Structure 1
Amino acid sequence: MKVGIGYSNCENAFNAGKQAALNAITQAAFGNADLVLAFCSGALDHQAFYRGLRAVLGQDVNIFGGSAIGVITNQNLSYQGYPAAVAVLKFEDNYCQMAVATGLFNSPFNAGEQLAQALPNMPDASLLLLLYDSVKFSGSENVAPVMNPSAPLLRGLELNLAAPLPVAGAGLLGDHGFSHTLQFCGKSIAQQSASALVFGGNMSSYIGVMHGCQPLSSQRYTITGIFGQFLYSLDGKPAVEVIDQAFGGRNWRSRSPVSHLCLGIPANSAPDLNKENDYSNRLISGVLPNDEGIILFEPDMHEGMEIQLMRRSPALSRASARTSTEALLQQMKQDGRQPLIAIYMDCAGRIAQLDPAAATGAEWPAAGQEDAREVQSLLNEARIPLLGFYCGVEIAPQAGKSRGLDWSGVLIILAR
């Protein structure tokens, strides 16, 4: 596989598409691409951006991607202005198949089912890359947004695949206001959809998960009141009061989404407090009026579920990104594999805080200190082309199954 990466940050969406595509083709030094991966800021007109891509890349190639809060390349880590990034791929002894499912809004499970049924049987498949629209209802000033859950989508997909396959991907998000997102689905643009790429041929995939959260304590809480993404009570007590007491104050409420705390779902019955992969983290989007409860980003919890309160650590995020990337590179080297391209999906909450006055800890990252910088630096040293984007939900195999994650980064390295 040959790869070229292009970037733009141009307010004119059509020109942004042309510029990013031209930069990718120039770097690739080949003519016609077999596949295009493209992500752009929610601030850009996606239709015009798509037309700009087509003006350079032609009408025949499939374009896969969509909305992103920001993008990451070997040279750029960009989430301000109008960032966009494109990867053009030319297959050699590898290939991919694509499927798209609509109706995510009505039934994520059925959308996963449709995806699996639309994909051909691929005995040499090594990875399924999944994208879906995170936002179901965008909400308003006084109404919380409603999100599409990843768990039923994954369940519908995995139950209907011809053979077990690693699934990694992301729930797309275009801005911090939870506006509706769009996807590039081959030769069309769609909303409320899910799409999948399955890679096969002479190809292996290496997947790493970076977290950066630790349990506040060993104490577990049982969910006793919840409806969708609104969590009302823990252990029979108001959830907000329980968190206030555990955190030692109300400061955790100062930002929406909540920056310093999240909820952790233990991946097994006896998780190790020091092993971040033993937990799936869930972002808290905010607090309901009158402290009635908390708003979860991912609506996949239920009454009776046991959770732990997790403290987010930017320093741990950077350390996790570094060690996880190093481990993937080392494993790939031991296996004698040649890297082709890296795809990094990073939680939008892990960008550097743009308002230093809002930070409440000396370790809070400044621009240039994000976890993505660690990934970028190590991949540059290894000379691996990088395309990344900031998203709402990250998906990766964890504790024996693919799961939706928050406050995480997922790195995929495709190799031959």
Structure 2
Amino acid sequence: MSAKYTSFGVGFSETTNSTLAGVEATKQALSKAGLSPQEAQLCFLFCTSRHDAESFFEGVKSCVGRETQFFGGYSNGSCTNTELGYDGYQVVVGILSKGDYKFDLILKEGIGFHEYEIGKELGQEIQKKDLGRNAQMFLLFDAVNRLEGRFRMNYGTPFIKGMSESITEWPNIIGARMLGDMKFKPTHQWCGREMSKNAAMALLFHGNIQIDSQIMHGCQPASAYHQVTAVKGANILELDNQPALDVVGEILGSDLIERPQELKFFVTLGKNVGDKWKPYSPGDYINRMCVGVDTVGKGLYMAEMDIEPGMEVQLMRRSFEMEYVSIRTKKLIERVKSNNRRIIFGLYINCSGRAAAYSNQTDEDVRYVQSAIDGEFPLLGIYEAGELAMIKDQLQVLDWTGLFCIFSEKITND
């Protein structure tokens, strides 16, 4: 490969020994990128909560140079061009070489119970950097708040609100809310040369590198519109002046309501941010997944707290055609290449709930992303608790979507 182009390699391991898993995946990534340890400029790294975070990190660090910077955290699973796994000991490492770009890493700890404040502080630090029209951002934040023992979601809505009050104009941005398993155990993050937790962090690129993305929607309306009439935080208490659990029960059937905990990760409500009278368009919907049931108050705990009284929502049916995933992946690849750009690598951020084990699907959508790429460029994929993307010029946390991203550089003739 010509030295003027940026190199990237991906490694994968399911070894149960955390140190060895880090070593295996990192050595694979270096080999595939054709890089020596000292040539590793930036290292992406992700592992499930089954691993010891410190041991995994030490394994990765032992294989790269002392100047290598790190960016990543926990994920519920991962994939490459050929491998795929979740709920086990999966780790994935991506190594990026030096190129015609620069980057900044920004970390803010303490997001639990302080999403708005940390978002605002992170935004202030980002605003101090070069946010020209070519700035590209990869944003990650911890999904899990266990500071008081019981699980509570770190909410993206106040976090993004805080950021938006500090950033005058959003750069091109993608991201994820991180978790390490479906039991929501505490997570860890890596940024720069340090390991962290309870944190939010940003990777800001400048120069000849660009991120293009495509949202893979996964829900369709399954009910009429229902007005939200009572809410407490992320708990939707009433729809149409009736207990939310009763309204959902009328739609889904009383047999399911008799087992209310089965509604968790099953019920999804959609907000139509477009024209409700126009034909259905998946790009107009922001979907929110139920992550818990209030059996006493007959409410639904949602993954976000942006559903407010007076809003109209629809019960959404989880459904996505695998061929749809393949087509949209190929279209983005062709669009990037048609703009005289060379693809460095692909990143697939997938909602953990879309995995076949949780979605009643017989196949994995990741397989169709892998097939569409067909080995043309490296793929690094992670399963997380929410995808971050722009919807109608506003950054949103999405549920039940996949986000396919392409990192590319402009082809030069010199």
Q: Above 0.5 in TM-score?
A: yes
2:247 is equivalent to residue 245 of structure 1? no
Report the CA distance shift for 1:349/1:241 in structure 2 as closer, same or farther (over 3 A): same
1:289 shift after superposition: 2.7
2:347 corresponds in structure 1 to 343
8 Å contact from structure 1 (residues 112, 154) kept in 2? yes
Find the aligned partners of 2:277 and 2:57 in 1 and give their Cα distance: 45
Change (3 A) 1:404 1:271: farther
State the distance in 1 between where 2:384 and 2:51 align.
Answer: 16
1:193 aligns with 2:195: no
> Does the 8 A contact of 1:239 with 1:294 survive in 2?
yes
* Other-structure match for 1:9: 14
For residues 55-91 of structure 1, give each alpha carbon's deviation from its aligned partner in whole angstroms, at most 9, with x where no partner exists. 1114321110010100011111111420000000013
Contact 2:293 2:299 in 1 (8 A): yes
Q: Does 1:99 align with 2:106?
A: yes
Matched ranges for 1:315-354 at <5 A: 316-353=320-357
Out of 216, 220, 223, the residue aligned to residue 210 of structure 1 is 216
2:133/2:171 contact within 8 Å kept: no
TM-score, normalised with respect to structure 2: 0.90
Gaps of 5+ in 2: 1-5, 410-414
- The equivalences for 1:271-350 within 5 A come to 272-290=278-296, 292-313=298-319, 316-350=320-354
Residue 153 (structure 2) pairs with residue 150 (structure 1): no
- Whole-Å separation in 2 of the counterparts to 1:59 and 1:75: 30
Distance 2:80 2:241 in 1: 47
Residue 245 of structure 1 and its aligned partner are, at CA, apart by: 1.2
Output the CA distance in 2 between the equivalents of 1:175 and 1:102: 21
Distance 2:139 2:96 in 1: 18
Distance 2:279 2:265 in 1: 20
Structure 1 length as normaliser, TM-score? Answer: 0.90
Q: Which amino acid letter does the alignment assign opposite residue 365 of structure 1?
A: Q
Q: Is the 8 A contact 1:147 1:299 kept in 2?
A: no
Q: Is the 8 A contact 1:260 1:311 kept in 2?
A: no
Give the deviation of 1:118 after TM superposition. Answer: 2.2
Decide whether the 8 Å contact of 2:40 with 2:65 is kept in 1.
no
- Looking at structure 2, the residues matched to 320 and 263 of structure 1 have their Cα atoms a distance apart, in angstroms, of 22
How far off is 1:157 after superposition?
A: 2.1
Distance of 2:277 and 2:119 partners within structure 1: 29
Q: CA deviation at 1:258?
A: 3.8
Q: CA deviation at 1:232?
A: 1.3
Match of 1:415 in 2: 408
Letter in 2 for 1:85: V
Moved more, 332-341 or 282-291: 282-291
**Hey, what's the Cα distance between the residues in 2 that align with 1:34 and 1:162?**
30
The aligned counterpart of 2:369 is 375
Alignment partner of 1:43: what SS?
A: coil
Q: 1:237 and 1:269, CA in 2 relative to 1: closer, same or farther beyond 3 A?
A: same
Q: What CA distance in whole angstroms lies between the structure 1 residues aligned with 2:132 and 2:184? A: 39
In 2, the alpha carbon distance for the partners of 1:212 and 1:187 equals 36
In structure 2, C-alpha distance between the alignment counterparts of 1:94 and 1:325, rounded to whole Å:
25
**2:412 aligned residue:** none
Q: Pairwise mapping of residues 358-373 of structure 1 onto structure 2 (< 5 A)? A: 364-366=360-362, 369-373=363-367
CA 1:199 to 1:224, structure 2 compared with 1: closer, same or farther past 3 Å?
Answer: same
Identity of aligned residues (%): 30
Aligned partner (choices 236, 242, 247) of residue 231 of structure 1: 236
Query: Amino acid of the residue matched to residue 230 of structure 2?
Result: G
Q: Is the 8 A contact 2:266 2:289 kept in 1?
A: no
Tell me which amino acid in the other structure corresponds to 1:377: S
Q: Distance in 1 between matches of 2:79 and 2:148?
A: 28
Cα pair 1:138 1:180 within 8 Å, conserved:
no
Closer, same or farther: CA 325–124 of 1 in aligned 2, 3 Å: same
Deviation digits for residues 318-343 of structure 1 (CA, Å, limit 9, x no counterpart): 24422321221121132222111111
1:41-190 to structure 2, matched below 5 A, reads: 41-119=48-126, 120-123=129-132, 125-137=134-146, 145-161=151-167, 163-190=169-196
Measured at CA, do residues 105 and 152 of structure 1 come closer, stay the same or move farther in structure 2, by a change above 3 Å?
A: same
Matched residue type, 1:89: L
Q: Secondary structure at the match of 2:62?
A: helix
For 1:121, the aligned partner's letter is D
Q: Is the 8 A contact 1:214 1:310 kept in 2?
A: yes
